[in-house]
Amino acid sequence: MKSISMSKPKKQKQTMAERSNTLRAGVLGSNDGILTVVGVLFSVAVATTNQFTIFIAGLSDLIACAFSMASGEYASVSSQKDTEKAVVEKERVLLKQDFQSELDAVANYYIDRGVTSATSYDIANELMKKDALGTVIRVKYDLELGHYMSPWNAAFSSLVAASAGGIFPLAAMSLLPVSLQWQGTILAVIASVALTGYLSAKLGDGLVKVAIYRNIIVGIITMIIHYSVGILLK
C-alpha cells in the first residue's frame, strides 16, 4: 500500500489569485459606487434645487450601494469557496478509492506538455509521494491546497471601494458652488470612471484604452439617462 501524503497545509500567505480577486472586487465596487451615486444625484438634482435633499439622497444611495456590493461579493465568493472545498473533498476520496487513475491524470498532465511517458510517470510518482492531494488539485483544477478565495476580504474591499467611489460625485455635487456643480460633477465622474477602467484593465491584463473609453461612455450614458428621468419627474 503506497503512502499518500494528504496532510492539511499550514496557514500560508495569499496567492496572487487571491490578492487579484480582492483587488477586482474593489475596482468593481468603486465603479458601481460612482455610477449609482451620480445616477441618484442627477435624478434628484434635476427635480429639486434643495441642496440638503440632494445630499441626503446621494448619501443614502452611497451607503445602500456599498452594503449591497459587499453582500453580493460575499455571497458570490462564498459560493466559489464552497465549490473549491467540494472539489478538494472529492479528490481526497478518489485518492483513497482509485489512486492509479489520479496518478495517471498527473502523468497525462505532463505528457500533454511534451514530456515523455516514462519521465511523466517518474515526475507524477515523486510529486504524489510528497503531496498527493495538493498535486492532484493543482494539476486538474489549477487550485492551491489550503488557498481559498476569502469572501470577507472581497466584501470588505467592495464595501470600502464603493464608498470611496461614490464620494467623488457626492462631494462635487454637494461642495461646489451651484453655478459649477453640474460641470464639476460630470468631470469628477469622467475622471473617476477612467481611473477604474485603467485599474480593471491592468488587473485583468486587458486593453487599457478600450477599458477607459468604455467606462467613460458608460458613465456619460448613465448621467444622461438619470438626468432625463429627473426631467420627467420635474
Query: pTM of whole model > 0.75?
Result: no
Examine residue 87 and state whether it is found in any structural domain, yes or no.
yes
Examine residue 140 and state whether it is found in any structural domain, yes or no.
yes
Examine residue 5 and state whether it is found in any structural domain, yes or no.
no
Distance CA 159, CA 193 (A): 17
Examine residue 1 and state whether it is found in any structural domain, yes or no.
no
Q: pLDDT by residue for the chain (234 residues), tens digit each?
A: 344 444 444 444 555 555 566 666 677 778 888 999 998 999 888 888 888 999 999 999 999 988 988 898 899 889 888 888 898 999 999 999 999 999 999 999 999 989 899 999 999 999 999 999 999 998 888 888 777 777 888 888 888 888 888 999 999 998 888 889 899 999 999 999 999 888 878 877 778 899 899 999 999 998 999 888 878 766
Domain count along the chain: 1
CB atoms closer than 10 angstroms to residue 60: 12
Among 28, 29, 35, smallest CA distance to 225 is for: 35
Examine residue 130 and state whether it is found in any structural domain, yes or no.
yes
- Tell me the residue range of the domain where 147 lies: 16-233
Examine residue 170 and state whether it is found in any structural domain, yes or no.
yes
